[in-house]
Structure 1
Amino acid sequence: MPTTRETILSALHARLSTLPATVLRGEVLPERVPAGGLVILRDGDPGEPEVTLSPLIWHYHHRAELEVIVQGRDRDAEFDALCAAIGAALAADRTLGGLCDWVEAEAPAPADLPLEGGASLKAAVVPVVVSYSTSDPLA
């Protein structure tokens, strides 16, 4: 049986899979960026939980990361559209079907990355904070 953390991260990946881009989880950066862009979900860090003692419950604000990458001549517009699509996908179901208390993305800090012999990339890490509670930090 998967842990609460894994269940939530799988649901987040499924939610992001509705995007008009290729969405991977925990994969290495491929040699080519697909048309429409690329989003790689990284599991991130659950952070230090707050603990309620009666009943014993751990409350996490887990920081997952999305690596968002586009390539091409219209990369500024494509990057903007992809980030807006991520925001809309998360806003459509802030609790991931009731699995968490809240999910919210933070603003990206994009960078242009030149490539020798090819169109440059526009990329950013988009932090996604998922708030949830569990009765066991390992369950």
Structure 2
Amino acid sequence: MAAKREAVIAAVETLLQTAVPLASVGRDEVKPDEIDPAGTFVVFDGDPGEPEIDLSPLRYTWTHRIPVSVGARGGDPRGLMVTLLEAVGDAIQADRQLGGLVEWLDAEAPSPDPLEAPGTEVHRWTDLIIVATYATTSPLG
């Protein structure tokens, strides 16, 4: 049932691209040296954790923590970061079920890295965890 887990991660990628259409969205990549002027998201597979198991009918409920690195650069990376995170929060609130794919979608508070200044341009990365709760009929998630 790995297909459900993969579908959820792909739907999170789509949600981010829809929330900030001009930003770049990647998957399981090293944080790039160049951050897109509109922002950069890197989605990782994360850990679905241990499922809650219901026996009748058989159902495995996963609380999948999906890490997302969010990058902002430019003259006001803090301001851009706020804008990016607000857009993601609005997109999550608008579709808590990812079109029916999950039972609930939420995000944990972001943990920002310190401002960095490689060369002359200041940039910032923030780690965000998107939490997707969904059920499968397979222990393989």
**What TM-score comes out, normalization by structure 2 length?**
0.91
- Structure 1's unaligned 5+ residue stretches are none
- Please identify, of 118-127 and 67-76, the stretch whose mean Cα deviation from structure 2 is larger: 118-127
Q: Which has the higher strand share?
A: 1
Root-mean-square deviation (Å): 1.6
Q: In the alignment, does 2:5 pair up with 1:5?
A: yes
On the 8 A contact 2:2/2:140 being kept in 1, the answer is no
Q: Compute the displacement of 1:118 (Å).
A: 2.5
Q: 1:99: which partner in 2?
A: 101
- What is the alpha-carbon distance in structure 2 between the residues aligned to residue 109 and residue 76 of structure 1? 13
Query: Where in structure 1 do 4 or more consecutive aligned residues deviate above 6 Å?
Result: none
SS of the aligned residue for 2:102 comes to coil
Q: Compute the displacement of 1:121 (Å).
A: 1.8
Q: Count residues with an aligned counterpart.
A: 139
Q: In the alignment, does 2:78 pair up with 1:65?
A: no
On the 8 A contact 1:50/1:58 being kept in 2, the answer is yes
- What is the alpha-carbon distance in structure 2 between the residues aligned to residue 5 and residue 111 of structure 1? 28
- Structure 2's unaligned 5+ residue stretches are none
SS of the aligned residue for 2:132 comes to strand
- What is the alpha-carbon distance in structure 2 between the residues aligned to residue 106 and residue 57 of structure 1? 25
On the 8 A contact 1:112/1:121 being kept in 2, the answer is no
Q: Which has the higher helix share?
A: 2
What percentage of residue pairs aligned between the two structures are identical? 39
- What is the alpha-carbon distance in structure 1 between the residues aligned to residue 133 and residue 100 of structure 2? 11
**What TM-score comes out, normalization by structure 1 length?**
0.92
